[in-house]
């Protein structure tokens, strides 16, 4: 990957593009333009069909999706695909759910492109935590309740001795915690946050499939959220928001209200 193959005459370009949380109207104008210009769309599982439908009709589509228990294209293979497409002179959109630089491994792909001498651009997208909170009626910051926000991944196994996330420490920040990919380990995460001093009564919002027609949400507490989520059948893709601001979903859940009114 460090040198350009002799068989390719010229180099194309790769755009690492955030597809947002699912609703195509939340795409940036630049993302929309690039979808209409790209020769190839290399996309993840979480990119919605509605967003993919906006691509140029004759564009090649390459699925490199990652989903628990299903097809998973190894990261190094994704990087190799991007490099070879660029060396073939293609204009490539690497389309990622949310934002490419927030738990999207966009940094790794950008490093691979640099190492190979491939031109690239980063096109930010609306990351899932921002969209999920906004559509659930949860202001992530609030003058009364929270002056800080932390984005965390729950994908690691919190039982590992060498886990990078010390949940007990984050419990002491007094900030809103937005947890991506945390449903599988939610019980352990909630228990460790409580061990760090966060009260069991702390409000928690869980938002599944935010901004899409499958959007749904629940409001619970840190002590009960794992049990309630399991009982209600909540699962990935979902964002978990922990903090006093989550309680505001009780009166600010505009998207749920609009869905109910439309029935």
Instruction: Supply the residues annotated as catalytic.
Output: 44, 66
| Three-state DSSP state, 75 | helix
* Unique residue bearing structure tokens 């507490």: 221
Instruction: Give DSSP secondary structure letters for 115-145.
Output: HHT--EEEE----HHHHHHHHHT--S-BTTT
The tokens describing 7, both together, are: 């068989």
List, in sequence order, every residue forming a beta bridge with 63; answer none if it has no partner: 43
**In degrees rounded to 5, what are phi and psi of residue 194?**
-65, -35
50 CB neighbour count, 10 Å cutoff: 14
**In degrees rounded to 5, what are phi and psi of residue 166?**
-95, 90
Instruction: Give DSSP secondary structure letters for 180-206.
Output: ES-STTHHHHHHHHHHTT--TT-EEEE
């Amino acid at each position: 990957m460090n040198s350009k193959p002799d068989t390719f005459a010229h180099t194309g370009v790769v755009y690492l593009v955030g597809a947002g949380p699912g609703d195509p109207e939340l795409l940036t104008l630049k993302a929309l333009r690039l979808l209409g210009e790209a020769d190839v769309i290399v996309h993840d599982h979480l990119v919605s069909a509605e967003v993919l439908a906006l691509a140029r009709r004759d564009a090649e589509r390459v699925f490199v999706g990652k989903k628990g228990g299903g097809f998973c294209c190894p990261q190094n293979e994704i990087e190799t695909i991007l490099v070879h497409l660029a060396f073939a002179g293609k204009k490539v959109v690497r389309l990622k759910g949310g934002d490419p630089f927030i738990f999207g491994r966009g940094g790794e792909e950008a490093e691979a492109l640099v190492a190979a001498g491939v031109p690239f651009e980063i096109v930010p997208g609306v990351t899932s935590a921002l969209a999920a909170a906004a559509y659930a009626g949860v202001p992530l910051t609030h003058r009364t309740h929270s002056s800080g926000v932390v984005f965390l991944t729950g994908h690691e196994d919190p039982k590992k001795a060498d886990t990078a996330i010390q949940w007990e420490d984050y419990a002491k920040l007094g900030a809103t915690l937005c947890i991506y990919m945390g449903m599988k380990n939610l019980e352990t995460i909630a228990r460790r946050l409580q061990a760090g001093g966060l009260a069991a009564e702390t409000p928690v919002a869980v938002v599944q499939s935010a901004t899409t027609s499958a959007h749904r949400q629940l409001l619970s507490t840190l002590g009960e959220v794992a049990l309630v989520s399991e009982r209600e059948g909540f699962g990935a893709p979902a964002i978990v928001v922990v903090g006093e601001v989550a309680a505001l979903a009780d009166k600010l859940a505009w998207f749920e209200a609009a869905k109910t009114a439309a029935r």
